[in-house]
Homo-oligomer: A and B are copies of this chain.
Amino acid sequence: VTVSNDDPGDAVRSLVAPAPGAARDVVAGALERGDLLAVVGRCTVAFDGRASGELGPGERHLLVKPDGTALVHGDDGQRPRAWVGPGGDVSASVVAGDLRVRATGDGGDDSLTVAFEALVHVGAFDVTDDGERTVAGTEADLRERVLADPDLVEPGFTPLATERETPAGPVDVYGEDREGRAVVVELKRRRAGPDAVGQLERYVEALERDLHIEAVVRGILVAPSATDRARELLAERGLAFASVDPT
């Protein structure tokens, strides 16, 4: 077992195949300093809270962030096998010769316990991420596109408001058609399914009641495409569809 550290300003602590006690010390120090903590090894995991469950023995990667978030990743997939959210407490101990890391969620209702029966690596890193994040191709971009060129929705369509409030919640785009009829537009950045139609329908009905007029409120689903079931539902409800890409 060797401690391997080039000591670049105490920014890193890295142990390969450490003894549990040495690992616990590194983990405890990382938690105290607010470091990013990474532990790789064979472990079992238990969690409890909104639901409860466990992971049988397996080799995994535990990531603990300065805000208390803890993620247990297996060897595949994009989602952690187990996790607990930020805001809680994290502690480390050695129980029966095993390193044990325990984290609790914000309310304290959620808890996560990781017991390592073999340690491959422990690392503590003093990192801060203050970089900006930009994303293009979101629903917001689709909305901008529709507002810039309302004919994409339907020739003669005139947007009047975004996020217009109704008893059923805010509608993405509210406007009127060439004949002056009220129009509710629901935007989806991806292929739309039955849920999107249900949403649109709720807004249309809510707005009809809100305006308490006899005139019909039209509903238009705007998305790159829609599934067959979604199109059937649109037809049944007398709603329309317009194909528009978010980019």
Contact = CB atoms under 8 A, between A and B. Distances in A.
Interface stretch (A63-71, A155-163, A172-180, A215-223): A63-71
A127 B59 contact: yes
A198 B201 CA distance: 9
Interface in A40-98: 40, 44, 50-61, 63, 65-67, 69, 71, 73-78, 81-83, 85-86
Contact of A55 (B120, B121, B127, B133): B133
Interface stretch (A1-9, A20-28, A143-151): A1-9
A125 B199 CA distance: 46
A17 interface: yes
A76 B86 contact: yes
Interface size bracket, A side: 35 or more
Given A54-B134, A55-B131, A78 B69 contact: yes
A136 interface: yes
Contacts of A133: 53-56, 81-82
B131 A121 contact: no
Contacts of A81: 129, 133
Contacts of A85: 78
Interface of A: 1-2, 4-6, 8, 11-12, 14, 16-17, 36, 38, 40, 44, 50-61, 63, 65-67, 69, 71, 73-78, 81-83, 85-86, 120-121, 123, 125, 127-138, 168-169, 189-190, 194-195, 198-199, 201-202, 229, 233, 246
